[in-house]
Chains A and B, each alone.
Chain A
Amino acid sequence: MSAALTDPPEIALYVHWPFCRARCPYCDFNVHVRRTVDHDAWRRALLAELDHFAARTPGRRLTSIFFGGGTPSLMAPATIAAVIERASTRWQGAPDIEIGLEANPNDRAAFRPLAEAGINRLSLGVQSFDDRVLRFLGRDHDANEAREALDQAFAVFSTVSFDLIYAWPEQSEESWRAELAEALTRARDQLSLYQLTIEPGTVFDALRRRGALRPASGDAAGPLYEIAQDMTAASGLPGYEISNHARPGRECRHNLVYWRYGDYAGIGPGAHGRLTEGEIKRATRQLRSPERWLAATQAEGHGTAESENLGAAARAQEMLIMGLRLAEGIARADIRRETKSELGEVVNMDAVAELIEAGLLALDAERIGATAAGRQRLDAVLERLLA
């Protein structure tokens, strides 16, 4: 999706709100629990950091904003509105800009204020329609609250997506089918299905190491993934990315920026960004600690911990890591533009041939992509291609 030369280059904005009421046992994101937050200070700091990145990328067309976390529904609506307003003036706000935010079912009361602050896409952390599973996942809501929240979200936001987590220990194919069936009657345009992953340092990781939790193996998760692919496709919400499903044409635009390796500025503690500045591509990462990030931003206008100049090899690697997650794959022209090299110079062509033969990869003059089978095993495919 290379933009025509006459269009100004695009950019997306990610805003990280690092606070949660409590930490979920499976979550390893940059999340912190604080009793009080100085919302005024945080608003000023986020705006300052936004200014900092906007100054480095003038004249861009802003296609999406995403408020992630943490629990961004805990942000003061005034802060959200201020960020949206500032972003749309610092960059050129596209008329059809997507402005998304993640929320939990128990934030129902905040939906309307959030919409009034400018949010037009809500991504709801439903996680399951089974109370037992919700308890296992350490969620603070039950299935009925989730259903109610969904109904309310559909009433308020023009786009609503929700997440489910699958492949929890001992999950049966039958119960997964039932849960998916319900999800598909409720989902309109978008649905995300994430395999439960035990990340290092989480409560689940500690449980696993003690032998108290046995995550599903690849053998167990495989059939569940396949069921999800089949059922969502049959309902008109095919998987366009490993874990993301949408009615064609209604995909989440913000996430597509990541997967298509477009530019995005990341503000807030621990936020990541990718910014093209002339011939250079920078990977930025902000300080993870909320207090240190706030102090740095107040002192210097930004809390950048790291700003790495990515070489051609790293750019190729990242492009493949992200792009092969998409069903559409990657345009070879984009690889050429990003790396100034041909495909054969950035991947192991013997591996490509092998993977094609095994039905895991597809390649033609225009594009390279992972097949459905290849996406299901993408980590191993990437390892062969790149490592």
Chain B
Amino acid sequence: MTDLAHIRNFSIVAHIDHGKSTLADRLIQSTGGVTAREFRDQMLDSMDIERERGITIKAQTVRLHYTARDGKTYILNLMDTPGHVDFSYEVSRSLSACEGAILLVDASQGVEAQTLANAYLAIDAGLEIVPVLNKIDLPSADPDRVKREIEEVIGLDAANSILVSAKTGEGIADVLEALVTRLPPPAGDATLPLKALLVDSWYDAYLGVVALVRVKDGVLKRGMRVRMMSTGAVHEIESTGVFAPKPTNVDELGPGEIGFVTASIKKVADCKVGDTITEDRRPAAEALPGFRPSLPVVFCGLFPMDAADYGRLRESLEKLSLNDASFAFEAETSAALGFGYRCGFLGLLHLEIIQERLRREFNLDLITTAPSVIYRIQMTDGALEELHNPADMPDPARIAAIEEPWIKATILVPAAHLGGVLGLCTDRRGEQVELTFSGDRAMAIYRLPLNEVVYDFHDRLKSVSRGYASFDYQMDGYRAGKLVKLQIMVNAEPVDALATIVPEERAYQRGRQMCGRLKDLIPRQLFMIPIQAAIGGRIIARESISAMRKDVTAKCYGGDISRKRKLLDRQKEGKKKMRQFGKVEIPQTAFLEALKFDED
């Protein structure tokens, strides 16, 4: 157990790419946490996807030993946090285990939307904040301008900012020293009944269910019988340890310490993040404040390309959800795509990451339907329904009103590119709340329907601002809208997977776009196929795919019938990837392409 005065718990919060992982690497290296041989870049990003895309998805933690200029050795617990808005929930969780935070800002890029969002999360959590300006080795670094931005946009005193280069190592010693001198030590009492915050939990192939905890009061030891305060479930602690950064067992975890425990816990679900762990024999009187649960806001259907993979998809989703409590799924059947799952995500990046992990780690070939938000439907009989899938929309005659979720978006952009950004927001039904300037940087705050953002807002924002705009958002309640369900029919049969909910005034254009696109995507058939877009019973757009003009092998040479027979057998295999619409068969790939949304 470590003396409280010699512990500092901190996080690094930053906009993506400002150098958080690199700084963490430097801190680990300069405190000797790993040998040179063990070291690899982005030490804390453990998943392949994290390393490749250079983003941190799950919060990570590491214990460092630092001998300060006062000659004493301190334990520094670093929680690395994700930078992306989809995972702000994980950021708040990590922050609640810390007393301080490094606010890391790229000295040439300056304050960005997630700098702002994450700084506010840290301020709200009551943390002491040390501003650190990174990448001062870059010729374009302008620390004075960025300090001004921190003061004007965030409202933090930046006079004592530390200038570093996580790349060259310059200033790293000052950061370590500032952690000791500027952050408060944790408070806590080892003699009080145990109170430990369950910060995160995951399934490890070797250790089983592992819980990451921050001890507030009391002491956690091996063999202790602990109680989960929300459920009352009792478990025996099998081991306690810290990440240094490799998992290393320790005898006990005392107040102020961050570490992991394993216990006879079967399911990750039994380790509810935000729960308080106490001692069964001597329980604490009240639990620590938990976290607001993170709820999925974006839904989409995931279907296996090969129907035979349905079972594997289910197993894979179950495995993924073991380590990702924010990810929800339920079975869904589609006439167009067969059996699959409707899944809920924290945002589009989350969706993409899950999709990519399914593809990569589980080798699944998937079709993803258009992402949809959760609509609230006021029925004429007074009932309120939640709609996760446009295909399930009730009969319009029974609907009194449809409400859709809105967000409040904060966009930071150089003034030179502001015009394009404002145009985009207006296009997406945005309402301006505020527009302010700091130097030549503008901050625009907009209210926008979430639905307008889930598809490709981020990509469009990058393109209208040449990559300079940054964006963050928070949910901003529900509002009624003039929304209709746009149905697409192929050969007179509705294709459920292509149904979308759109603002009435856009339905016509969207319908024509969809029909035109399907016309190009669906291969010619023996029969003419009509493609229609409809609202309720009203057809608003139509196209038709004319019958194929010629399709026959010119030559069956020298009596080689076997070859043609093999070809037919291959087509038979291919048929498994087709979906039947009346007498028309459509390859799933056509839907896949049709679902790729872009504004043209």
- A residues lining the B interface (CB < 8 Å): 14, 16, 29, 68, 194-197, 218-219, 221-223, 225, 242-243, 257-258, 264, 266, 271-274, 283, 285, 308, 314, 317-318, 321-322, 325, 354-355, 358, 360, 375-384, 386-387
Contacts and interface: CB of A to CB of B under 8 A. Distances in A.
A317 B568 contact: yes
A21 B470 CA distance: 66
A381 B550 CA distance: 11
B178 interface: no
A358 B582 CA distance: 14
Nearest to B564: A321
Most buried by A among B526, B560, B564: B526
Contact of A272 (B526, B560, B571, B575): B560
A380 B527 CA distance: 10
A242 B552 contact: yes
Q: Which 7 A-B pairs have the closest CB atoms?
A: A222-B549, A222-B550, A378-B552, A195-B554, A387-B572, A258-B559, A194-B554
Contacts of B524: 218
Contacts of B550: 195, 218-219, 221-222, 225, 376-377
A16 B561 CA distance: 16
B37 interface: no
Contacts of A243: 554-555
Nearest to A285: B562
Chain B at the A interface: mostly helix, strand, loop or mixed?
loop
Contacts of B526: 355, 358, 360, 377, 380-381, 384
A223 B551 contact: no
Given A358-B527, A380-B526, A386-B568, A274 B552 contact: no
Interface residues of B, number: 26
B562 to A, nearest CB: 6
B558 interface: yes
Interface in B543-585: 548-562, 564-565, 568, 571-572, 575, 583
B562 A380 contact: no
Contact of B557 (A29, A225, A285, A380): A29
B557 to A, nearest CB: 6
A328 to B, nearest CB: 16
7 contacts: A68-B558, A194-B555, A223-B549, A271-B558, A317-B565, A317-B568, A376-B551
Given A321-B568, A358-B527, A387-B571, A272 B551 contact: no
B513 interface: no
B553 A379 contact: yes
A94 B548 CA distance: 44
B554 A266 contact: no
B552 A377 contact: yes
Interface in B494-549: 524-527, 548-549
A375 B549 contact: no
Contacts of B572: 387
Nearest to B573: A387
Given A317-B568, A358-B527, A360-B526, A218 B554 contact: no
Given A221-B549, A223-B549, A243-B554, 15 more contacts: A16-B558, A29-B558, A197-B553, A218-B550, A257-B559, A271-B558, A272-B560, A314-B565, A318-B565, A321-B564, A321-B565, A376-B549, A376-B551, A377-B552, A380-B551
Contact of B548 (A242, A257, A273, A380): A380
A222 B546 CA distance: 13
A377 B551 CA distance: 4
Contacts of A272: 558-562
Most buried by A among B550, B555, B556, B564: B550
Contact of B561 (A242, A318, A379): A318
Nearest to A219: B549
Contact of A383 (B557, B571, B583): B571
A68 B557 contact: yes
Contacts of A376: 549-552
Contacts of A222: 549-550
Contacts of A383: 568, 571
Contacts of B565: 314, 317-318, 321
B528 to A, nearest CB: 10
B553 A14 contact: no
Most buried by A among B526, B558, B560: B558
A14 B556 CA distance: 14
A328 B420 CA distance: 67
A318 B548 CA distance: 24
Contacts of B560: 272
A347 to B, nearest CB: 12
Interface in B52-97: none
Contacts of A273: 559
A175 B88 CA distance: 68
Contacts of A380: 525-526, 548, 551
A322 B524 CA distance: 24
Contacts of A360: 526
Contact of B556 (A314, A325, A377, A381): A325
Nearest to B557: A29
A386 B565 CA distance: 10
Contacts of A283: 561-562
A93 to B, nearest CB: 20
A146 to B, nearest CB: 20
B568 to A, nearest CB: 6
B575 A242 contact: no
B555 A387 contact: no
Contacts of A354: 583
B526 to A, nearest CB: 5
Contacts of A221: 549-550
A308 B566 CA distance: 13
A137 to B, nearest CB: 14
A182 B524 CA distance: 34
Nearest to A306: B562
Most buried by A among B551, B553, B559: B559
A91 B428 CA distance: 82
A296 to B, nearest CB: 19
Nearest to A242: B552
A354 B527 CA distance: 10
B527 A274 contact: no
A180 B441 CA distance: 72
B121 to A, nearest CB: 51
